């Protein structure tokens, strides 16, 4: 999980260093095109898949949401300090909690609503509206976080119908195809150096997701999630040491509040699972 977090911060750093020379849609397309290479062996299996239309609709909607998210994310990454990007991005699991309650029928208990309120307070501390300028980059990161959360909620629903590997592979294909027309519409010449670094982004992202999957298989979320929160430390160090971004104590404080909200929710959910009655071990018909 430590390797996963460092790889994700590496993705942030490379994308930020590329700056605004390439349009966001073009940068995102090239990154996903490189990542797609890892999933080409899955293509024959995907073409033989015989899922009902509603499942393909879910795949399509998830691809559209993810296309929207990555464009906003690439736009924001070049314009917002790295630590602020990470702090706002930590709202993702809280938004998933709300969407799951509204759409998937999971109960929004008083405890969960309190967690949501605490996380939103943390976001307000990070952004400080009325006390500082909220830039288009900040709004883009908020939009990206919302779209990523909706995409992950659809992934939860898709997990009822398809294996995880296939869900990830379909996402890579749909996002690459969805980004293609947007990238061509605003295409500018790409240097070999830009291609190389976007290839590095694709490789780092693949390493990050693979390491995360191995960590989830090895131990409980209660063990892995606190390590995820170290990303804001790595992000703040990267921004300060590499990009000369000032270390904003408000961003660290707001990120800490959001992390506290997520941690409290994890502890409460773990306690609820321990108190739940044992599952029926009989064989289902």
Q: Is residue 227 part of a domain?
A: yes
Neighbour-count burial of 218, counting CB atoms closer than 10 A to its CB (0-12 exposed, 13-18 middle, 19+ buried)? exposed
Q: Is residue 112 part of a domain?
A: yes
In angstroms, rounded to a whole number, what is the distance separating the alpha carbons of residues 60 and 69?
A: 14
Q: Is residue 282 part of a domain?
A: no
In angstroms, rounded to a whole number, what is the distance separating the alpha carbons of residues 21 and 74?
A: 12
Count the domains in the chain. Answer: 1
Q: Is the pLDDT of residue 128 over 60?
A: yes
pLDDT for residue 197: 92
**What would you report as the CA-atom Rg of the chain, rounded to the nearest whole angstrom?**
19
Neighbour-count burial of 250, counting CB atoms closer than 10 A to its CB (0-12 exposed, 13-18 middle, 19+ buried)? middle
Q: What Å distances lie between residue 241 and 43, 198, 234, CA to CA?
A: 42, 22, 10
- In tens, the pLDDT along 253-271 reads 887 887 787 777 777 766 7
pLDDT for residue 143: 93
The predicted model gives 169-175 an average pLDDT of 85
Q: Is residue 115 within 8 Å of residue 97, measured between CB atoms?
A: yes
pLDDT for residue 281: 34
pLDDT for residue 283: 35
Nearest to 95 by CA among 151, 140, 168, 157: 151
Q: What Å distances lie between residue 231 and 84, 146, 174, 181, 249, CA to CA?
A: 11, 19, 28, 33, 16
Q: Is residue 175 part of a domain?
A: yes
pTM over 0.85: no
Q: Is residue 278 part of a domain?
A: no
pLDDT for residue 191: 92
- In tens, the pLDDT along 6-56 reads 888 888 888 888 888 888 889 889 988 887 887 777 777 776 777 788 888
Tokens of residue 99, six digits: 């969407």
Q: Is residue 184 part of a domain?
A: yes
Which of 57-61, 145-149, 154-158, 176-180 comes out lowest in average pLDDT? 154-158
pLDDT for residue 61: 92
Q: Ranked by mean pLDDT, which of 44-58, 62-76, 144-158 comes out on top?
A: 62-76
Domain hosting residue 106, numbered range: 2-273
Q: Is residue 279 part of a domain?
A: no
In angstroms, rounded to a whole number, what is the distance separating the alpha carbons of residues 11 and 203?
A: 9
Roughly what angle, to the nearest 10 degrees, separates helices 249-275 and 82-89?
20
Q: Is the pLDDT of residue 168 over 60?
A: yes
pLDDT band at 131 (very low <50, low <70, confident <90, very high): low
The rounded Cα 264 to chain-centroid distance in angstroms is: 20
In angstroms, rounded to a whole number, what is the distance separating the alpha carbons of residues 121 and 140?
A: 19
- In tens, the pLDDT along 180-219 reads 999 999 899 999 999 999 989 888 887 877 777 677 667 6
Helix, strand, or coil (residue 133): coil
Q: Is residue 204 part of a domain?
A: yes
129 strand-pairing partners:
132
pLDDT for residue 67: 92
């Amino acid at each position: 999980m430590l390797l996963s977090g460092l790889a994700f911060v590496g993705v942030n750093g490379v994308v930020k260093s590329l700056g605004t020379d390439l349009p966001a849609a073009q940068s995102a397309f090239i990154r996903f095109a490189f990542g797609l290479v890892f999933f080409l062996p899955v293509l024959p299996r995907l073409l033989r898949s015989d899922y009902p239309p509603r499942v393909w609709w879910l795949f399509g909607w998830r691809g559209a949401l993810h296309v929207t998210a990555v464009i906003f994310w690439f736009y924001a990454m070049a314009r917002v300090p790295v630590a602020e990007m990470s702090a706002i991005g930590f709202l993702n699991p809280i938004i998933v909690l709300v969407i799951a309650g509204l759409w998937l029928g999971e109960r929004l208990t008083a405890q969960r609503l309190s967690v949501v309120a605490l996380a939103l307070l943390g976001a307000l501390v990070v952004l400080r509206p009325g006390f500082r300028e909220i830039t288009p980059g900040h709004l883009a990161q908020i939009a990206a976080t919302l779209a990523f959360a909706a995409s992950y909620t659809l992934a939860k629903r898709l997990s009822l119908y398809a294996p995880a590997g296939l869900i990830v592979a379909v996402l890579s294909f749909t996002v690459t195809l969805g980004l293609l027309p947007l990238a061509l519409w605003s295409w500018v010449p790409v240097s070999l150096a830009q291609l190389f670094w976007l290839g590095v982004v694709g490789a780092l992202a693949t390493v990050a997701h693979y390491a995360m999957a191995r960590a989830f298989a090895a131990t409980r979320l209660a063990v892995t999630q606190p390590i995820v929160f170290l990303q804001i430390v790595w992000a703040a160090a990267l921004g300060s040491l590499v990009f000369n971004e000032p270390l904003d104590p408000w961003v660290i404080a707001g990120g800490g509040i959001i992390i506290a909200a997520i941690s409290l929710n994890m502890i409460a959910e773990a306690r609820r699972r321990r108190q739940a009655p044992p599952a029926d071990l009989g064989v289902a018909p």
